[in-house]
Amino acid sequence: VSQPADLFLRLRRSIENLERAVSAERSTSQDERILRERTERIARQPQQVDAAPGAYSCLVFERCSGRYAVRLDALDDVGPLGPVAPVPGIPDAYLGVTARRGKVVAVVDLPRLFGSAADAGRPAWLIMTGDLACGLAADVLHDIIEIDSRKITRSMPTFPALVRTHTLGVLEDRTVVLDAQGLLADRSLRVEHRG
Amino acid sequence: MELDDPVYQELCATLHQEAGEQVERIGALLLELEQGASAERRQAILEEAFRQAHNLKGAAGSLGFTLTARLAHALESVLEHLREAAGASAAGAFDALQRALAAMPRALAADPGATADPEVDPALAELLAIHGKPSQPPGPSLRSEGLAHAEKPAEAHITAAVDREAVFTHVAVPRSGSGSTLISGAGAPPPRDETLRVSTKKLGALMSQVGELLAARMRTDQRLAELRELLLGEEELLERQSSLRALLRQREPGEPNGVSRQLSSTLASVSEHQKELVRRLRELVRGFESDALQSTILSGELQEDIRRIQTFPLSQVLDPVPRTVRNMARDAGKQVELQIEGAEIELDKKVLESLRDPLHHALRNAVDHGVERPEARIEAGKPSHGKVAIRAEHRGESVVITVQDDGPGVDFDAIRRRAIERGLLSFEQARELPEPRLIELLFEPGFTTRSKADRFSGRGVGLDVVRTNVEQLRGSVTLDSSPGAGTTVTIILPLTIYVVHSLILGVGDARFAIPISSIERILRLRPSEVLKVEQSDAVVVGGRPIAVMPLASLLGLPALPVERREWITVIVVGAAEMQCALAVDEIVGDETVLAKNLEAPLVRVKNIAGASVLGDGSVILMLNPLDLLRAASLREAEGRGLGVHEARERPPRLLLADDSFTTRSLERSVLELAGFEVMAVADGREALRALEERPFDVLVSDVDMPHLSGLELCRRLRAEERFRSLPVVLVTSLGSDQDRRKGLEVGADAYIVKSEFDHEKLVAVVNGLIGRP
């Protein structure tokens, strides 16, 4: 049986070790490992909330004063947009390509798909959906909203055919709700030059 | 063992791989036998072929691959029959044996548990007819007897050590998934305890990580450059502080007092601190440089070692070719002699795997469309045997593989007819289209000159597939043909597809990378060296005129006019027989970049081969040299030449700056009369603005003007590289020697005093400066 003095000594050593471990400089990889482990520990499966039938969550964002929303369950990744390299010879809808997590991905500018020719400055965010190496450019990320599909106005006939096909609806605050995955996978956006 | 059992699946995959190798080996042996072998060699060949068939039968039977085992058994029986009847001719059996080998993949696909197959059964019957014995049922199956009774599939190994010789004498890596392929070279297999199995997927992942390491190293270089810049800034600051202290000492040579003393003391203390900072920064830079160098060496070695592990000889793809060509020729009723050179050249595993199909298509074209039937050849005065040659050779960082036949060459009339029939060309266009452009049509999807497709070719899915596959590997494929001289398909492939040594080019604001292997020369030309050949600009390189055009125009980007420049930088890009000089704005440098393919939706972008992520996180696009050459040959930059000749042919543009309306009008009328296109402005500031907006050939300016004087205007122009060669004439009333000297000091080319002004003199001076008679 340990004596109280021994116990005290062991406790003291433990505290010292702990202090050393906390104050020691860690490498980036150690930090990353700790963060990864912590993320895994605190991560939870998304809670199944009782959503109304036909309702779904969307991320609302802005680009060149246009408001758009994309379904949350179709989102793969949202993050800051790095430098964009314009690619000569591809449709105007593309701003160019950028690096995202080591991959080269294409960046689509929604206003250009809607026919706006104005150059609206550099976007700040990249919204990736599905498995495609392609994302949507955004200036500002707004909120996550719940949309009742039965209560929104269907696509507008004045929209260009491509976006009309992939528009889920339009909200009263002029937000265009898009099927981003379908839009980006549309064949008309595919560039496949035959030599 | 259940069909979906992972271990069983693994064994099946291994069987598929092994069977492929065994079939190829037996085929090659039979071909050697067919081409004639000594009695001793004949026996050795039959022994080995028999052993391969026997092993295949055993492995197939143990896994319940009944049909495969039956076919292997029949094969074994015929080989045994030939072996035993030592003097018997095997000639009649070759076709049946080759057909049985050709049916083997089908049997493997139908198994396990298949008993019959419409393609396998005739091959079996044919073999049975030769040896006259019914096929024996194969031995017990692994599925019924369990693993313990299984004939263990041959082990495949890869040496653990990074020893080139050891690795390449006996290496096995799965072609895909979890199976394995045995590639044997000279020498006995190394002992088992020195080897381990590694999947190509894992090696590929390792190579990708090395690529990321390369990117990290590039980032380190960038940080180092930033650190050097910081050091430079601090050193400059230290120098300024020293100058300031010297100035203070000069101003107050005696004992300083009051504010000066305080200032001097503070400065001394700041300087000491600054010195220490600079010293530590220098140490840091030196240490960083040494570490960066070490890391460069180590990562380079690691990259090279992993590349070597993934590199295999071309023979891996070429070994089955003789048998394939033999069968193709036999089916087409032709006689073909195959010649292979350079099979020992080593290529990246992925490149090799992707080369199989293009090579097969190229050979199919050579046999089907190239070589004529024996009777036609004899009629044409050629030997009855046609020749097909595959040659591989190193060229820089690339491998050039040619498939050449000695047939009649491409039928250009047939291409013209087909193009008209398909509505691709009008009659007139077809007649006038040059032969290289007609050849390009052969690469169009679905384009064939055959009126009828057979089971081998004529569907027009050959060359376009070859091009697509090769270009996915950042390679190129071209076809050359001339009547009577046969056809040559040239495939150029990079030795490795992960890292590409590239030249970084500046085109306007954009940067592009182009593989250095595609660049033949880099030239710096004066605009006067650009020739006009009909409607094209050209430069003479090595005694030959080569078309030159701005890279920007080919890419559809705005091209800067070259007429202002003293020098034009061009890169000469070449592939096969095509060459073109591309004018670029700037050569930024060279870098080894990690190449990445663009992915869907940007599946294949014209002129772009891929992209790479640079150290600063930006993306640089990699140009596709062959696309550029193709675009150049199709004159896609037509009407967008260098602009040199246009500049020479139009009247010279003169910018006239003078604040006096009368003088301006007078000089303007004199100069316009002399054939100049004159733009007149009222001061130096307006002159600068005009020069920014459009190019001028010469500037004539007053000296004393509001806002910006002629001298200041001239000084500012000479400070900028683009205006350094612009001829400037100062016309002024300030006629003293000092004024003249000032004018010439700021960089004016001529100085005319208004009091001495005479029209003819002005025109003569201006003409002289722009080289106009």
From the CB of residue B494, how many other CB atoms can be counted at a distance below 10 Å? 23
Answer whether B603 sits within 8 Å of A89, measured CB to CB.
no
Q: What is the pLDDT of residues B55-81, one digit of tens each?
A: 788 778 777 888 888 888 888 888 887
Answer whether B601 sits within 8 Å of A82, measured CB to CB.
no
B600 CB near a chain A CB, below 8 Å? Answer: yes
How large a percentage of chain B has pLDDT more than 90?
8
Compute the distance between CA of residue B649 and CA of residue B174 in angstroms, rounded to an integer. Answer: 65
CB-nearest partner of A97 from B607, B611, B627:
B611
Q: What is the pLDDT of residues A29-56, one digit of tens each?
A: 777 888 888 887 777 665 555 566 778 8
Q: Is B578's pLDDT higher than 90? A: no
Determine contact, residues A128/A75, Cβ cutoff 8 Å: yes
pLDDT for A123: 92
Residue B363 Cα distances to A75, B356, B454, B474, angstroms: 47, 11, 16, 21
Beta bridge partners of B620: B612
A70 CB near a chain B CB, below 8 Å? Answer: no
For range A11-24, the mean pLDDT: 80
- The helix/strand/coil state of B186 is coil
A102 CB near a chain B CB, below 8 Å? Answer: yes
Q: Is-cis flag, bond preceding B706, omega within 30?
A: no
Determine contact, residues B89/B42, Cβ cutoff 8 Å: no
Residues 488-517 of B with CB under 8 A from A: 510-511
Q: B474-491 b/e with 16+ CB inside 10 Å = b?
A: bbbbbbbbeeeebbbbbb
CA distance A91 to chain B (A): 10
The band of B4, judged by pLDDT with boundaries at 50, 70 and 90, is low
Token pair 């680009």 is at which residue? A63
Q: How far is CA B594 from the centre of its chain?
A: 13
**Phi first, then psi: what are they for B574, rounded to 5°?**
-140, 145
Compute the distance between CA of residue A148 and CA of residue B759 in angstroms, rounded to an integer. Answer: 84
pLDDT for A68: 94
B627 CB near a chain A CB, below 8 Å? Answer: yes
Compute the distance between CA of residue B43 and CA of residue B83 in angstroms, rounded to an integer. Answer: 7
Residue B634's closest chain A neighbor by CA? Answer: A195
Q: What is the pLDDT of residues B80-110, one digit of tens each?
A: 877 776 655 556 677 888 888 888 888 888 8
Two structure tokens written together for B231? 């050091």
B441 CB neighbours in chain A (<8 A) are none
Please name which of B394, B206, B221 lies closest in space to residue B303, comparing C-alpha atoms: B206
Is residue A32 classed exposed, middle or buried when 0-12, 13-18 and 19+ CB atoms within 10 A define those classes? exposed
B231 CB near a chain A CB, below 8 Å? Answer: no
Task: Kindly state the DSSP code that residue B280 receives in the 8-state scheme.
Answer: H
Compute the distance between CA of residue B654 and CA of residue B647 in angstroms, rounded to an integer. Answer: 13
Compute the distance between CA of residue B771 and CA of residue B528 in angstroms, rounded to an integer. Answer: 11
Answer whether A99 sits within 8 Å of B212, measured CB to CB.
no
Q: Which of B31-35, B497-501, B517-521 has the highest mean pLDDT?
A: B517-521
What integer best gives the mean pLDDT of chain A? 84
Residues 206-225 of B with CB under 8 A from A: 212
pLDDT for B667: 84
CA distance B363 to chain A (A): 21
Compute the distance between CA of residue B75 and CA of residue B296 in angstroms, rounded to an integer. Answer: 56
Handedness of CA B61, B66, B68, B73 (dihedral sign): positive
**AA identity, residue B89:** S
pLDDT for B69: 86
B637 CB near a chain A CB, below 8 Å? Answer: no
Task: Kindly state the DSSP code that residue B652 receives in the 8-state scheme.
Answer: P
Q: How far is CA A155 from the centre of its chain?
A: 24
CB-nearest partner of B601 from A102, A134, A195:
A134
B613 CB near a chain A CB, below 8 Å? Answer: yes
CB-nearest partner of B621 from A83, A85, A105:
A85
pLDDT for A59: 94
B220: Cα within 13 Å, side-chain hemisphere: 18
Task: Kindly state the DSSP code that residue B369 receives in the 8-state scheme.
Answer: I
CA distance A92 to chain B (A): 13
CA distance A99 to chain B (A): 6
Q: What is the pLDDT of residues B307-352, one digit of tens each?
A: 777 778 888 888 888 888 888 888 888 889 999 998 888 887 778 8
pLDDT for B453: 44
Two structure tokens written together for B97? 């044996």
Residue B595's closest chain A neighbor by CA? Answer: A104
The band of B659, judged by pLDDT with boundaries at 50, 70 and 90, is confident
Answer whether B608 sits within 8 Å of A134, measured CB to CB.
no
For range B128-152, the mean pLDDT: 48
pLDDT for B451: 52
B26 CB near a chain A CB, below 8 Å? Answer: no
Q: Is B397's pLDDT higher than 90? A: no
The band of B155, judged by pLDDT with boundaries at 50, 70 and 90, is very low
Q: Is A78's pLDDT higher than 50? A: yes
Residue B589 Cα distances to B291, B514, B564, B568, angstroms: 23, 11, 23, 16
pLDDT for B86: 60
The band of A81, judged by pLDDT with boundaries at 50, 70 and 90, is very high
How far is it between the farthest Cα atoms of chain B?
123
What integer best gives the mean pLDDT of chain B? 77
**AA identity, residue B155:** E
Two structure tokens written together for B511? 């940067």
Answer whether B601 sits within 8 Å of A191, measured CB to CB.
yes
Q: What is the pLDDT of residues A87-127, one digit of tens each?
A: 998 988 999 999 887 788 999 999 988 887 666 688 999 99
- The helix/strand/coil state of A46 is coil
HEC string for B575-637: ECCEEEEEEECEEEEEEEEECECCCCCEEECCCEEEEEECCCCCEEEEECHHHHHHHHHCCCC
For range B142-171, the mean pLDDT: 33
B610 CB neighbours in chain A (<8 A) are 104
The band of B390, judged by pLDDT with boundaries at 50, 70 and 90, is very high
B474 CB near a chain A CB, below 8 Å? Answer: no
Q: How far is CA B616 from the centre of its chain?
A: 24
Handedness of CA B558, B562, B563, B564 (dihedral sign): positive
B621 CB near a chain A CB, below 8 Å? Answer: yes
The band of B362, judged by pLDDT with boundaries at 50, 70 and 90, is confident
Please name which of B176, B41, B171, B17 lies closest in space to residue B105, comparing C-alpha atoms: B17
A195 CB neighbours in chain B (<8 A) are 443, 467-468, 471, 604, 626-627, 630
For range B631-649, the mean pLDDT: 59
Q: Is B748's pLDDT higher than 70? A: yes
CB-nearest partner of A87 from B471, B608, B613:
B608
Q: What is the pLDDT of residues B417-454, one digit of tens each?
A: 888 887 778 888 888 887 877 888 888 766 766 555 44
B621 CB neighbours in chain A (<8 A) are 85, 87, 97
Q: Is B531's pLDDT higher than 60? A: yes
Residue A118 Cα distances to A114, A121, A135, B130, B288, angstroms: 11, 9, 20, 79, 46
B756 CB near a chain A CB, below 8 Å? Answer: no
Token pair 């007139």 is at which residue? B428
- The helix/strand/coil state of A71 is strand
B618 CB neighbours in chain A (<8 A) are 82-83, 85, 99
Q: What is the pairing mode between strands A140-148 and A167-170?
A: unpaired
Compute the distance between CA of residue B374 and CA of residue B380 in angstroms, rounded to an integer. Answer: 10
pLDDT for A119: 63
Determine contact, residues B476/B625, Cβ cutoff 8 Å: yes
B467 CB neighbours in chain A (<8 A) are 195
A87 CB neighbours in chain B (<8 A) are 602, 605, 608, 621
Tell me how many residue pairs between chain A and chain B have CB atoms under 8 A apart: 100
B207 CB neighbours in chain A (<8 A) are none
CA distance A88 to chain B (A): 6
Q: Is-cis flag, bond preceding B601, omega within 30?
A: yes
A101 CB near a chain B CB, below 8 Å? Answer: no
The band of B637, judged by pLDDT with boundaries at 50, 70 and 90, is very low
B148 CB near a chain A CB, below 8 Å? Answer: no
Answer whether B596 sits within 8 Å of A86, measured CB to CB.
no
pLDDT for B355: 83
Q: What is the pLDDT of residues B233-290, one digit of tens each?
A: 999 998 888 888 888 777 776 666 777 778 888 888 888 888 999 999 999 999 888 8
Answer whether A85 sits within 8 Å of B626, measured CB to CB.
no
In a mutagenesis test of the A interface, which of B507, B555, B619 is the best target, namely the one with the most A β-carbons within 10 Å? B619
pLDDT for A86: 93
Q: What is the pLDDT of residues B675-730, one digit of tens each?
A: 888 888 888 888 988 887 777 889 999 888 888 888 889 988 888 877 887 889 98
Q: Is A152's pLDDT higher than 70? A: yes
Please name which of B596, B395, B575, B621 lies closest in space to residue B499, comparing C-alpha atoms: B596
CA distance B611 to chain A (A): 7
Beta strands, E only, chain A = 55-63, 66-71, 75-80, 94-100, 103-108, 125-129, 134-138, 140-148, 167-170, 176-178, 191-192
Q: B291-322 b/e with 16+ CB inside 10 Å = b?
A: eeeeeeeebeebbeebbebbbbbbbbbbbbbb
Answer whether B605 sits within 8 Å of A86, measured CB to CB.
no
CB-nearest partner of B600 from A96, A98, A132:
A132
- Higher-pLDDT residue of A136, A17: A136
Determine contact, residues B423/B417, Cβ cutoff 8 Å: no
B627 CB neighbours in chain A (<8 A) are 195
